[in-house]
Amino acid sequence: MRISTKGRYGVAVMASLAERAGQQQTAVDVAKKLGISKIYLEQVLSLLKNAGLVQSVKGSQGGYFLDAAADKITVLEILRATETGLFERTELGLDESSAYIERAINNTVWTPLDKTLAAFLGGITLQAILDNSKTQGAGYMFYI
Tell me the per-residue pLDDT of 22-58, one tens digit each, with 9 for 90 and over: 889 999 999 999 999 999 999 999 999 999 999 999 8
Tell me the per-residue pLDDT of 50-103, one tens digit each, with 9 for 90 and over.
999 999 998 877 899 999 999 999 999 999 999 977 777 666 666 677 778 888
Please indicate, yes or no, if residue 144 is contained in any of the structural domains: no
pTM: 0.84
Return the percent helix, strand and coil in the chain, to nearest 5. Answer: 60, 10, 35
The three-point CA angle 88-94-98 to 5° equals 125
Please indicate, yes or no, if residue 130 is contained in any of the structural domains: yes
- The total number of structural domains that make up the chain: 1
Check which CATH number belongs to the domain holding 101 and give it.
Answer: 1.10.10.10
Tell me the per-residue pLDDT of 99-135, one tens digit each, with 9 for 90 and over.
788 889 888 998 899 899 999 999 999 999 999 987 7
Domain that holds residue 129: 5-137
